């Protein structure tokens, strides 16, 4: 394989893990952060592939800065951010596509807990875009003995799977923190999947994508591991800690908190039913207790399961 010049934007755990994977495959990796020694222009001078692994709140600003640099149209932009923009309600890839309409924009997403990736434990992920040549290029860049990379043409569905599951992970963390048992956790995760699909297909994703690695796979990983920051937010809320206290002590960003707020705004605008996410939203806003959120879900109108399943 020929050497590719890759720039990783972001030095968090996920960005560092992706950089390590690329270096193992003998690619030339440059890492940029706001506190680093390189300017943004210097870090991108030779970049053939840009991997964006920063938090959602930083995406609009970074996109605007990159736009001033006039990237070559051949430069591939890979979004590894999971979230929704609070101002525009757009996903990261939608921001990148609007900013760089002539560049290939891809999404990298899957059941990839960063600490396990760093330890070299086996995992699989998805790189998504309708641009087949670009996804095959990125597939080769990161595939290794410990990471199997699949491709998918459904960019938006892949991205939304990884974004929406963070909201559900908070709910499952609450479930675990209240010690409600395995039955309750299984029921919650199973009922959450149709909710994710309902939102994702309404916004343009393909239903089948949500049954793959970036949907169900990521949902299972994030909802069953204490390594998940979003899971930890829910778990600690159930222990009686305040959201402010939890976020102050958390290492890294729990994107599910912001995503929940934006998702409710989006669902209100589009008329999408999101009963689980609405209870998470009310809990995060301090309007209900974890116990009240559970009671609200259990008291919903009885109906056939098939009305929500595809």
Total of domains in the chain: 2
* 227: its two tokens: 């390594």
Assign 309 a pLDDT band (cuts: 50, 70, 90): low
Q: What percent of the chain has pLDDT over 70?
A: 97
Looking at the fold, whether 143 and 239 belong to one and the same domain comes out as no
Residue of 292, 114, 111, 280 lying closest to 188 (CA atoms): 280
Assign 95 a pLDDT band (cuts: 50, 70, 90): very high
Q: Which of the pair, 162 or 306, is modelled with greater confidence?
A: 162
Neighbours of 36 (CB within 10 A): 13
Among 96, 131, 153, residue at a domain's last position: 153
Assign 251 a pLDDT band (cuts: 50, 70, 90): confident
210/193 Cα distance (integer angstroms)? 8
What per-residue confidence (pLDDT) applies to 298? 75
What per-residue confidence (pLDDT) applies to 252? 86
What per-residue confidence (pLDDT) applies to 302? 64
* 283: its two tokens: 């809990």
Query: Rounded mean pLDDT of 178-199?
Result: 94
Q: Which of the pair, 119 or 92, is modelled with greater confidence?
A: 92
**DSSP secondary structure code for residue 78 in this structure:** E
Looking at the fold, whether 124 and 246 belong to one and the same domain comes out as no
Among 106, 134, 153, residue at a domain's last position: 153
Assign 308 a pLDDT band (cuts: 50, 70, 90): low
The beta-strand segments (E) located in the chain are 5-9, 28-32, 49-52, 76-79, 105-109, 123-128, 147-152
What per-residue confidence (pLDDT) applies to 21? 93
Looking at the fold, whether 114 and 101 belong to one and the same domain comes out as yes
Query: Rounded mean pLDDT of 160-175?
Result: 96
Assign 310 a pLDDT band (cuts: 50, 70, 90): very low
pLDDT above 80: residue 122: yes
What per-residue confidence (pLDDT) applies to 147? 95
CATH number of the domain encompassing residue 89: 3.40.50.720
Query: Structural domain of residue 189, as residue ranges?
Result: 156-307
152/131 Cα distance (integer angstroms)? 10
Catalytic residue among 165, 179, 285, 303: 165
131-139: long-range contacts, CB 8 A cutoff, minimum separation 24: 131/104, 131/106, 133/104, 134/76, 134/104, 134/106, 135/106, 137/4, 137/49, 137/76, 138/49, 138/76, 138/78, 138/106, 138/108
What per-residue confidence (pLDDT) applies to 294? 82
Looking at the fold, whether 143 and 272 belong to one and the same domain comes out as no
Whether 285 sits among the annotated catalytic residues: the reply is: no
109/162 Cα distance (integer angstroms)? 6
pLDDT above 70: residue 76: yes
Among 153, 183, 202, residue at a domain's last position: 153
Neighbouring C-alpha atoms within 13 Å toward the C-beta of 283: 34
pLDDT above 50: residue 126: yes
């Amino acid at each position: 394989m020929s050497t590719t010049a890759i720039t990783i934007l972001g030095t968090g755990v996920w960005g560092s893990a992706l950089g390590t994977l690329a270096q193992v495959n003998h690619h030339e990796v440059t890492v940029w952060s706001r506190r680093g020694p390189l300017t943004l222009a210097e870090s991108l001078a030779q970049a053939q592939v840009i991997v964006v692994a920063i938090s959602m709140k930083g995406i609009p600003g970074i996109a605007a800065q990159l736009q001033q640099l006039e990237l070559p149209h051949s430069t591939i932009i890979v979004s590894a951010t999971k979230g929704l923009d609070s101002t525009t309600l757009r996903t990261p890839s939608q921001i990148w596509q609007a900013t760089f309409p002539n560049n290939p924009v891809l999404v990298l997403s899957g059941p990839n807990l960063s600490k396990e990736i760093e330890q070299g434990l086996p995992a699989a992920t998805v790189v998504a875009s309708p641009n087949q040549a670009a996804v095959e290029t990125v597939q080769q860049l990161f595939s290794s003995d410990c990471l199997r990379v699949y491709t998918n043409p459904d960019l938006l569905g892949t991205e939304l799977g990884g974004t929406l599951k963070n909201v559900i992970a908070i709910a499952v963390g609450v479930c675990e923190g209240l010690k409600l048992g395995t039955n309750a956790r299984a029921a919650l995760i199973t009922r959450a999947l149709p909710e994710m699909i309902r939102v994702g297909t309404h916004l343009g994703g393909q239903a089948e994508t949500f049954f793959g690695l970036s949907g169900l796979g990521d949902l299972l990983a994030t909802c069953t591991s204490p390594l998940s920051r979003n899971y930890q937010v829910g778990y600690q809320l159930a222990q009686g800690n305040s959201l402010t206290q939890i976020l102050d002590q958390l290492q890294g960003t729990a994107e599910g908190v912001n995503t929940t707020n934006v998702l409710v705004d989006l669902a209100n605008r589009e008329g999408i039913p999101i009963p689980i996410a609405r209870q998470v939203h009310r809990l995060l806003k301090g309007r209900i207790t974890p116990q009240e959120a559970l009671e609200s879900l259990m008291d919903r109108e009885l109906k056939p399961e098939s009305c929500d399943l595809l």
